[in-house]
Amino acid sequence: MSIVTQRTDYTFKYNQTQSRHGWLRLTPAYSVKLVQEIVNHLEPNRLHPRVILDPFSGTATTGLAAAQNDFTARLYDINPFLIWLGNAKCRHYTEDEISTVARQIPQIIQAYKQYLPQSSWQPAIHNIHRWWAPATLNILTAIRQAIVDTGGEPGKYPATDLLWIAFCRLVIETSAAAFNHVSLSFHDETTSFATQTIDLFFSEVAHHILTEAGETIYGEATIEYADSRYPLPHLSFRKYTDVITSPPYPNRVSYIRELRPYMYWTKFLREAREAGELDWTAIGGTWGIATSRLKTWQPELDTLPDTVYQTCAAIAQSDNKNAFLMSRYVHKYFHDMHQHFASLRSSLASGANLHYIVGNSTFYGIRVNTEQLLGDSLSQLGYSDIACRVVRKRNSKKELYEFCLSAKWNE
């Protein structure tokens, strides 16, 4: 493995230059280049068309890449913001819709000024002035109200969602958030931006998004709500022929934390407890109440591969005060993934190909070989042709890698 390098083109950084894929910067997103390499090997079949599944949609990387290559994809997620964002990224927009929204941009910039002297709604983000200077926050709340006046809240009118995505970009770019880690941190000080600076940024970003929204997408991808630990909604016309996805990794990185500012401003999140509930529903469960609930969590399954129990036991016996809690976290992660693999079988066509992008981790010196443990689950559940290849080195720690785990389902 020593020759494997840190491939930035296989991370979210590559997505930032890839049209709709780069509309919002989210570090948990995996690389569209990696998805495209898998999709490019899929042979179109007009007699029995392929249907691609991503049961952990996230930022809809798989769905958008599949649709751009003229395939049909169905995606599922538990996060309402990501469902909204994914559908906005994958949607077909008409020229009339784009022209209408383009005319709304200067109207919003002019209209929001009337709200500046007023006390407008603010999201209930803890310590909000750590994120935005008071003057900047005042401008953001005014722009938000102007967008609502123009096209309603997110999801009301599909084309207006493009303005909301531009607003999300504005929200994060004017904040003190610093993206110098796998998750966000903060600069020491916030910045007060002049209205002219914010006007220019919002206009440029919105027009840029509109230009990319006008690009033709030949296939189709839609995102719906589903908890992928349990059976997915059945398609009325056929089963899934391919699975291309990247579930959460067992590394205790919260997939809600970085999304919170977007979710609060778009009202998909109203209080901190809701974030904890989402993290608990996610594979593994990582943050806030999700961590505290691990103490009393009881598994539904007692038939996981022996290698999972051995790994958890090794973590529990390590010399750390949180060793037992972390062993339960790892147990729940692989328990949830085993449930997912088991329930997935009823949705797959015979001969379906699976591709899971996963990462390993370490706890107190104990390596969690995610690719091996998930492969053991697949084998135990009757999947075949299980193989694994290293995709990239994830960071400076010599033990951490990203893998592509593949398998086949034959009824």
**Tens digit of pLDDT per residue, the chain (411 long)?**
445 665 665 556 665 666 899 998 776 667 888 888 998 888 776 667 899 999 999 999 999 999 999 999 999 999 999 999 999 999 999 999 999 999 999 999 999 999 998 877 899 999 999 999 999 999 999 999 999 999 999 999 999 999 999 999 999 999 998 865 555 678 888 999 999 999 999 999 999 999 999 999 999 999 999 999 999 987 766 899 999 999 999 988 777 888 899 999 999 999 988 988 888 888 877 767 778 888 889 999 999 999 999 999 999 999 899 999 999 999 999 999 999 999 999 999 999 999 999 999 999 999 999 999 999 999 999 999 999 999 888 765 678 899 999 999 998
CB atoms within 10 A of CB 28: 20
Task: Count how many Cα atoms sit within 13 Å of the Cα of residue 218 in the half-sphere of its side chain.
Answer: 5
Q: Do 195 and 99 sit in the same domain of this protein? A: yes
Q: pLDDT value at position 258? A: 83
Q: pLDDT value at position 11? A: 58
Rg value, the chain, Cα: 22
CA-based diameter of the chain, in Å? 65
Q: Is residue 274 part of a domain?
A: no
Q: Is residue 259 part of a domain?
A: no
Number of domains within the chain = 2
Q: Do 387 and 309 sit in the same domain of this protein? A: yes
Q: Do 185 and 324 sit in the same domain of this protein? A: no
Q: For residues 187 and 192, give the distance between their C-alpha atoms in angstroms, rounded to a whole number.
A: 14
Q: Do 330 and 397 sit in the same domain of this protein? A: yes
Q: Do 49 and 101 sit in the same domain of this protein? A: no
Picking from 281, 240, 359, 258, the residue whose alpha carbon sits closest to that of residue 79 is: 281
Q: For residues 272 and 126, give the distance between their C-alpha atoms in angstroms, rounded to a whole number.
A: 8
Sign of CA dihedral 166, 280, 29, 397: positive
Q: pTM for this one?
A: 0.93
Q: Do 198 and 335 sit in the same domain of this protein? A: no
Residue 136 is part of which domain span? 95-213
Q: pLDDT value at position 3? A: 56
Q: Do 318 and 192 sit in the same domain of this protein? A: no
Residue ending a domain, choose from 186, 213, 240:
213
Q: Do 167 and 233 sit in the same domain of this protein? A: no
Both tokens assigned to 59: 């930022």
Q: pLDDT value at position 29? A: 63
Sign of CA dihedral 249, 225, 229, 284: positive
Q: pLDDT value at position 1? A: 41
Q: For residues 282 and 112, give the distance between their C-alpha atoms in angstroms, rounded to a whole number.
A: 37
Q: Is residue 194 part of a domain?
A: yes
Q: pLDDT value at position 2? A: 44
Q: For residues 142 and 113, give the distance between their C-alpha atoms in angstroms, rounded to a whole number.
A: 7
Sign of CA dihedral 390, 395, 397, 400: negative
Question: Are β-strands 348-359 and 240-245 bridged in parallel, bridged antiparallel, or unpaired?
Answer: parallel
Q: Is residue 84 part of a domain?
A: no
Both tokens assigned to 305: 């591969």
